[in-house]
Amino acid sequence: MAAMEYKQRTVTCGALRQEDEGKYVVLNGWVHRNRNHGGIHFINLRDRYGITQIVVGEHARDEVRQIAEELRLEYCIAVEGIVRKRPDSMINPNMDTGSIEVDVQSLQILSRCEPLPFMIDEESDAKEDLRLRYRYLDLRSTGMQNRIRLRHEFVKAIREHLSARDFYEIETPTLIKSTPEGARDFLVPSRLYAGKFYALPQSPQLLKQILMVGGFDKYFQIARCYRDEDARGDRQLEFTQLDLEMSFVTREDVLKTIEDLFVEVFAKVMNYSLPTSFRRLSWSDAMNTYGVDKPDVRYDLPLVDIGDIAELIQFGAFQTALAEKGSIKAICAPATDNLAYSRKYIGELEEAAKVYGAKGLAFVKVGKGGVLESGIAKFLVGHETAIIERMKASEGDMILFIAAPWKKCCNSLGAVRTKLARDLNIIDKNRFEFCWIIDFPLFEFNEEAGHWEAAHHMFSMPQAQYIPTLESDPGSVKGDLYDLVLNGYEVASGSIRIHDVELQKRIFRICNFTDEEAESRFGFLLNAFRYGPPPHGGIAPGIDRMVMIMAQQTSIKEVIAFPKNTAAVSPMDDSPSYVDDKQLDELHLLIKQPVKSE
């Protein structure tokens, strides 16, 4: 069958302006709205570029009028007509094309659309699964169109910036050796070698390090990463990161490279001017002051240690914490008109704290003339001035206390800080505030497994002063690690890497890998390190997460064209799905549990 003949567009639906009056044009697009006012059809025709009003007037040919009658929402059509200026009373200043309309000469239906599962609008208010099942319709919404455009521009600006600075974009394979990097690997069975598997990369970490050994001293890649983790929060099984690595660099060089990159990219893409260098916080300062290692520094509300004052206070929870070498911290919730610190509200704050292990949230209110009222006020008699001064509190403020082991204390009060800021409405949504977190601990103790693990991954360099005591005191070792945080989200992690075989082996051992295991899993990296590896380091900003923040969204699904739902399923194509026995046979696989027929 010959392809359908149709009038191809001469302009898009976002292009026409008053100056185009009188032009003869063809538009292709989707019927966004179709109103019939006393026999005159006003059709809003939409494409990626905008919306143009087209009018089938009283004088239109019968055939055209018939087609106009037939049109339903989201029919894909071709329109031919003449641009005319709208009467003054009909001008729509909210539409780019609002001063014109197209007087239709001919109409052609290119394809029809079934009744819609949801309306296509600025944003869809349909349930997430419905949006994902009909993602092609959801993608037509202005919101999705804008976000996918933003993502494209972001990635393009990154490529331009790095390419202009001698970086090579190099692809690394997505079928690789299974090498644990913290999460569970996705495995791909080999047909040619029964019983053997490839893994999908959790990140190109080892390959980018080997590229450094290969002499490509400035590398980047817009890399897809796969982690087979439980569906939890806003996670996707696959995500995209800007993977970057450089040789002959120090931490300063990596941080500067990223600062320069985002300063330029934000200016270009968001018309937003960032400071030329970003604030830095050590991991312990971030924890102590903000309660988390990814603080939102758009607002202050610092946590304040009052351990020394608490020593003198006969309040059970304080004394227990002190006896257990824990911490006592407080936060000052400022007096405000838009938030009443009722018992009920303090209860809500306490719930937020308990999620992170605090047993309770104590409070006092600052009354007139430095008097502390309600809550634990009676225990604080005699210490009012010390507390008020330490907390920089004033009349009407509420002081909230948590006593717990250090990390729990930080995290719990950090959660109170975050909730308070939201409820106080003091977060400036239009600001982008980056900060670096540096000097992270290199190891974390995994209670379940009963051994030390790398806090980031096993290839990060310990800071030099800790190298002699790695084995004897792993808990105190700080690494040459850095995270980039944006508006309270961790958006990148990176480190200066180990490039010495012996040091790398020591780290494997501390993380409970025998030399044999390490050789069988990571032998290829160790081999490469036997051939003149350069000192190197890198980082990997998450593209989905960053675009999500830039687009002021709270889920990465809003900036990914085809995400999985929270249950790790794609409702559009129903993956994951069963496969034929023949496919399994070829892959030498037997499914343990009989497959239930659907």
Question: CB-side exposure of 469: number of CA atoms within 13 Å?
Answer: 10
359/258 Cα distance (integer angstroms): 40
Helix (H, G, I), strand (E, B) or coil at 388: helix
Please select the residue that binds ligand ASP; options are 539, 546, 547, 549, rule is CB under 6 A.
539
Of 138 and 181, the one with the shorter C-beta distance to ligand ASP is 181
- Nearest approach in angstroms of CB 498 to ligand ASP is 12
The residues that bridge with 280 in the sheet, in sequence order, are: 436
- What is the side-by-side strand order in the sheet with 536-541? 168-169, 218-226, 238-247, 536-541, 489-496, 481-486, 434-438, 279-282
Binding-site string for ligand ASP from residue 330 to residue 359, where x marks contact by CB under 6 A and - marks none: ------------------------------
Question: CB-side exposure of 380: number of CA atoms within 13 Å?
Answer: 26
Q: Is the peptide bond before 576 cis (omega within 30 degrees of 0)?
A: yes
- Nearest approach in angstroms of CB 245 to ligand ASP is 7
Asked if 70 contacts 76 with a C-beta cutoff of 8 angstroms, the reply is: no
* Contact flag: residue 247 with ligand ASP (CB under 6 A): no
Tokens of 407: 């990390």
351/359 Cα distance (integer angstroms): 10
Q: State which of positions 481-520 bind ligand ASP (CB under 6 A).
A: 493-495
Hey, what amino acid is at 506? R
Of 56 and 540, the one with the shorter C-beta distance to ligand ASP is 540
Please select the residue that binds ligand ASP; options are 538, 541, 549, 563, rule is CB under 6 A.
538
- Nearest approach in angstroms of CB 180 to ligand ASP is 13
Of 104 and 206, the one with the shorter C-beta distance to ligand ASP is 206
397-to-135, 291, 344, 418, 426 alpha-carbon distances in Å: 48, 20, 16, 17, 16
- Nearest approach in angstroms of CB 220 to ligand ASP is 11
Of 345 and 524, the one with the shorter C-beta distance to ligand ASP is 524
Asked if 270 contacts 154 with a C-beta cutoff of 8 angstroms, the reply is: no
Q: Tell me the site size for ligand ASP, rule CB under 6 A.
A: 8
Asked if 461 contacts 424 with a C-beta cutoff of 8 angstroms, the reply is: no
Binding-site string for ligand ASP from residue 165 to residue 204, where x marks contact by CB under 6 A and - marks none: --------------------------------------x-
Place of tokens 């824990």: 326
Of 99 and 493, the one with the shorter C-beta distance to ligand ASP is 493
Stretch that binds ligand ASP, among 277-285, 351-359, 366-374, 536-544 (CB under 6 A): 536-544
Stretch that binds ligand ASP, among 284-292, 324-332, 355-363, 534-542 (CB under 6 A): 534-542
Q: CA torsion 470→472→474→479, rounded to 10°? A: -30
Of 141 and 203, the one with the shorter C-beta distance to ligand ASP is 203
- Nearest approach in angstroms of CB 205 to ligand ASP is 4
Count CB-CB contacts under 10 A for residue 89.
5
* Contact flag: residue 263 with ligand ASP (CB under 6 A): no
- Nearest approach in angstroms of CB 118 to ligand ASP is 36
Please select the residue that binds ligand ASP; options are 44, 97, 205, 221, rule is CB under 6 A.
205
- Nearest approach in angstroms of CB 320 to ligand ASP is 38
410/174 Cα distance (integer angstroms): 39
Tokens of 539: 């980082």
- Nearest approach in angstroms of CB 406 to ligand ASP is 26
Of 332 and 539, the one with the shorter C-beta distance to ligand ASP is 539
- Nearest approach in angstroms of CB 202 to ligand ASP is 7
Helix (H, G, I), strand (E, B) or coil at 583: helix
Tokens of 586: 């070829």
- Nearest approach in angstroms of CB 491 to ligand ASP is 11
* Contact flag: residue 540 with ligand ASP (CB under 6 A): yes
Count CB-CB contacts under 10 A for residue 150.
16
Q: Exposure of 584 by Cβ count < 10 A (0-12 exposed, 13-18 middle, 19+ buried)?
A: middle
- Nearest approach in angstroms of CB 158 to ligand ASP is 15
Stretch that binds ligand ASP, among 246-254, 293-301, 321-329, 535-543 (CB under 6 A): 535-543
Question: CB-side exposure of 418: number of CA atoms within 13 Å?
Answer: 20
Write 175-184 long-range contacts (CB < 8 A, 24+). Answer: 175/199, 175/200, 176/200, 176/201, 176/207, 177/521, 177/524, 178/521, 179/206, 179/521, 179/522, 180/521, 181/205, 181/457, 182/454, 182/457, 183/227, 183/228, 183/229, 184/227, 184/228, 184/229
76-85 and 40-47: which strand pairing?
A: unpaired
Of 327 and 460, the one with the shorter C-beta distance to ligand ASP is 460
The residues that bridge with 101 in the sheet, in sequence order, are: 84
Of 414 and 538, the one with the shorter C-beta distance to ligand ASP is 538
- Nearest approach in angstroms of CB 203 to ligand ASP is 3
Of 81 and 533, the one with the shorter C-beta distance to ligand ASP is 533
- Nearest approach in angstroms of CB 183 to ligand ASP is 10
Of 349 and 496, the one with the shorter C-beta distance to ligand ASP is 496
- Nearest approach in angstroms of CB 449 to ligand ASP is 20
Of 173 and 316, the one with the shorter C-beta distance to ligand ASP is 173
Binding-site string for ligand ASP from residue 446 to residue 485, where x marks contact by CB under 6 A and - marks none: ----------------------------------------
Q: Which residue ranges make up the site for ligand ASP (CB under 6 A)?
A: 203, 205, 493-495, 538-540
